[in-house]
């Protein structure tokens, strides 16, 4: 299967050997091969493959699903990290009419540059579920859809809606970029060797066009909100760590804007020179102050500044009626509106 590192496995006494065509499967690499032909047929059918489609398959294993994909589409590009599986796949289709429509890429799918494809159909190693999902959604040009076998809980997080117990940052981020549908449940006994958990097949359709939002900015907001998803947003944004992060971003952006919109570089140099003139000036009695008094005043200024910034943040939440709401109940539209309110006030999350 694709993804993850190839490691030498120590033989385990008493462990069952799982083979197909003389190849042993390694659970640690996520190698769980679909053995139920009816299930394979159902996945291909629900994928809606056209005869002109270029299909990306990730982790083809010994080719049970690959064979059906080759029969349904124009070309299959199979990405496989295990060289043993690559050889098995090539042997299986060598000398058949399907061989010239199969292209095998040996490598880690998370590190490979993926070619153009119309549709992705895959039974993937579950440990790469999250990074692979977002790698596919970042792929350009945009593909039509992906039909992927995930661990059941991960799949249910992908499709979870506001108020569901599994609704989380993964749900919100994926659904910003794509429409996600749960197609079918798959029991562990449909695999050889059987995994420890049940699975689900999910259909992912990238949104066209994408919402007009910077993903890093969006994810920065969502990350903060789902840090404690059942707390009110008011309590989340009152945390010192959150306020400190946002204030730092705010000041950095202000400084950048000032440097871009300010006077010319010559004037800036003049300001520096003028500032340095004060180094040699002796203060008068009227201007002299005790160092301790200065320190107290500086601390008071900092405290007042932090208080003002906190009130600014809470004011934004109140403006959108978000202060008493919880992230676990917010919709995509709610998050987009909240992000727009923050951005209009000069508050950014990346």
Residues 77-95: tens digit of each pLDDT: 999 999 999 999 999 999 9
Q: What residue numbers does the annotated binding site for S-adenosyl-L-methionine cover?
A: 32, 34, 59, 80, 108, 123
**Closest alpha carbon to 225 in 215, 235, 216:** 235
CATH classification of 213-256+303-349, choosing from 2.40.10.120, 1.10.8.480, 1.20.58.1610, 1.20.120.160? 1.10.8.480
What is the bridge-based pairing of β-strands 33-34 and 19-20?
unpaired
pLDDT at 295 over 90: no
What residue ranges of the chain are covered by domains with CATH 3.40.50.150? Answer: 27-210
Mean pLDDT for 45-74 is 96
Instruction: Answer whether 100's CB lies under 8 Å from 34's CB.
Output: no
In this prediction, residue 262 carries a pLDDT of 59
Q: Which two tokens stand for residue 185?
A: 């449940």
Tell me the chain's radius of gyration from C-alpha atoms.
28
What residue ranges of the chain are covered by domains with CATH 1.10.8.480? Answer: 213-256+303-349
Mean pLDDT for 26-48 is 81
| CATH of region 27-210 | 3.40.50.150
Q: What residue numbers does the annotated binding site cover?
A: 32, 34, 59, 80, 108, 123
**Given the structure tokens 């002109």, which residue do they identify?**
52
pLDDT tens column, 220-243: 999 999 999 999 999 999 999 999
Q: Which residues contact residue 201 at a Cβ distance below 8 angstroms, ignoring those fewer than 6 apart?
A: 43, 46, 147, 148, 149, 150, 155, 182, 183, 184, 186
pLDDT tens column, 248-292: 999 988 888 777 765 444 443 333 333 333 333 333 333 334 444
pLDDT at 8 over 60: no
pTM over 0.75: yes
């Amino acid at each position: 299967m694709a993804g993850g590192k190839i490691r030498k496995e120590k033989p385990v006494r008493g462990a069952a050997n799982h083979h197909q065509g003389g190849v042993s499967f390694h659970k640690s690499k996520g190698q769980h091969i679909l053995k139920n032909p009816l299930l394979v047929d159902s996945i291909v059918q629900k994928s809606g493959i056209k005869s002109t489609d270029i299909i990306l398959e990730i982790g083809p294993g010994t080719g049970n699903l690959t064979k059906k994909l080759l029969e349904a589409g124009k070309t299959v590009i199979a990405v496989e990290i295990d060289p043993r599986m690559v050889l098995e796949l090539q042997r299986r289709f060598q000398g058949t009419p399907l061989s010239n429509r199969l292209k095998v890429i040996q490598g880690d799918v998370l590190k490979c540059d993926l070619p153009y494809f119309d549709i992705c159909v895959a039974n993937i190693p579950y440990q790469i579920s999250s990074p692979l999902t977002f790698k596919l959604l970042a792929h350009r040009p945009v593909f039509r859809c992906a039909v992927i076998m995930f661990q059941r809980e991960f799949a249910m997080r992908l499709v979870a809606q506001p108020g569901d117990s599994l609704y989380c940052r993964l749900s919100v981020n994926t659904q910003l970029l794509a429409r996600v549908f749960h197609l079918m449940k798959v029991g562990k006994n449909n695999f050889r060797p059987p995994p420890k958990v049940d699975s689900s097949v999910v259909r992912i359709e990238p949104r066209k066009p994408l919402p007009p939002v910077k993903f890093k900015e969006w994810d920065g907001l969502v990350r903060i909100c789902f840090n404690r998803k059942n707390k009110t947003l008011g309590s989340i944004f009152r945390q010192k760590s959150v306020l400190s992060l946002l204030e730092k971003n705010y000041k950095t952006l202000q400084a950048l804007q000032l440097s871009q919109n300010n006077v010319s570089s010559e004037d800036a140099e003049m300001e520096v020179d003028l500032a340095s003139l004060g180094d040699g000036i002796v203060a008068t009695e009227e201007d002299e102050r005790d160092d301790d008094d200065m320190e107290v005043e500086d601390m008071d200024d900092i405290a007042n500044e932090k208080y003002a910034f906190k009130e600014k943040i809470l004011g934004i939440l109140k403006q959108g009626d978000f202060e008493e709401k919880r992230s676990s109940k917010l919709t995509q539209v709610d998050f987009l509106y909240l992000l727009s309110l923050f951005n209009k006030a000069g508050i950014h999350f990346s």
